[in-house]
Amino acid sequence: MQALLTRSWVKPLLFVLCTLPAFWLVGAGLLNQLGANPAEALIRGLGDWTLRFLCLVLLVTPLRHHTGWTVVARWRRMLGLFVFFYASLHLLAYAWLDMGFDLVELLPDIVKRPFITVGMLAWGLLLALAATSFNRAIKAMGARRWQRLHRAVYAVAVLGVLHFFWMRAGKQLFGEVAVYAALLGALLGWRVWWRFRARVPA
């Protein structure tokens, strides 16, 4: 398996796969195939994919430890940048299609509505991580400080679920929220468990 995953075409293929939801959603939106309320469908679809990529990137380390496929670690940066990519499209679609880029409407919305505040905060953290995602940034910051900063992805996971929960609270529809909370909770819980386990001598 490891040998197969190390082939030179695997990562480019993964990259193309990761872009498909964006092409599919935006394309369907432009072709008016997203139902009666296309703007809402697009904004929500992009939010869903942000959460899905967040699950994927947080799966990398547990997968590497349990399967021994060290190659998956080489995909982590790309997957992380896709989280940022989908989060940015989500924010752009909201600011454009919902708010018409009207700052007089947009800024009070960010301050007044907790679920938007939380979403913006998560996007701000992702921006910081994306901006320091290249090798020279690691060198400039020092590996330890860089790693500490990049643990902010755990905060992004918590804020992302909270954002989704608060959005759905208006209609009390928590089914999907529970699924993402369980997945991300398990992935974060695994890290706690792994750390604790490593400290106990075998």
Partner 1 sequence: LPGVKSAVAGASTVEAVTAYDDATLYNNFYEFGTDKSDPAAYSKQFKPRPWTVQVEGLVKNPRTYGIEDLLKLSAMEERIYRLRCVEGWSMVIPWVGYSVAELIKKVEPLGSAKYVEFVTLADKAQMPGLRSGVLDWPYVEGLRLDEAMHPLTLLAFGMYGEVLPNQNGAPLRLVVPWKYGFKSGKSLVKIRFTDKEPRTAWNVSAPQEYGFYSNVNPDVAHPRWSQASERRIGEGQGLFAKRRKTLMFNGYEPQVGQLYAGMDLRKFF
> What is the footprint of partner 1 within residues 108-167 (CB under 8 A)?
109, 112-113, 115, 166-167
Kindly report the number of other CB atoms within 10 A of residue 125's CB atom.
Answer: 20
Least separation in angstroms between CB 32 and partner 1: 4
Least separation in angstroms between CB 173 and partner 1: 6
- Per-residue mark of binding to partner 1, 45-64 (x: CB under 8 A): --------------------
Alpha carbon distance, N-terminus to C-terminus of the chain: 29
Does 22 contact partner 1 by CB under 8 A?
A: no
Q: CA-CA distance, 187 to 150, in Å (whole number)? A: 16
69 torsion bin: left (phi>0), alpha (psi -120 to 50), beta (else) = beta
Chosen residue from 4, 17, 32, 135 binding partner 1 by CB under 8 A: 32
Q: CA-CA distance, 112 to 128, in Å (whole number)? A: 24
Chosen residue from 17, 170, 195, 197 binding partner 1 by CB under 8 A: 170
CB 162 within 8 A of CB 118: yes
What contacts 59, CB < 8 A, 6 or more positions away? Answer: 187
Chosen residue from 18, 21, 29, 125 binding partner 1 by CB under 8 A: 29
Write the DSSP symbol of residue 98.
I
- Per-residue mark of binding to partner 1, 57-96 (x: CB under 8 A): ----------------------------------------
Report the interface residues with partner 1, using CB under 8 A.
29-30, 32, 34-40, 42, 97-98, 100, 105, 109, 112-113, 115, 166-167, 169-173
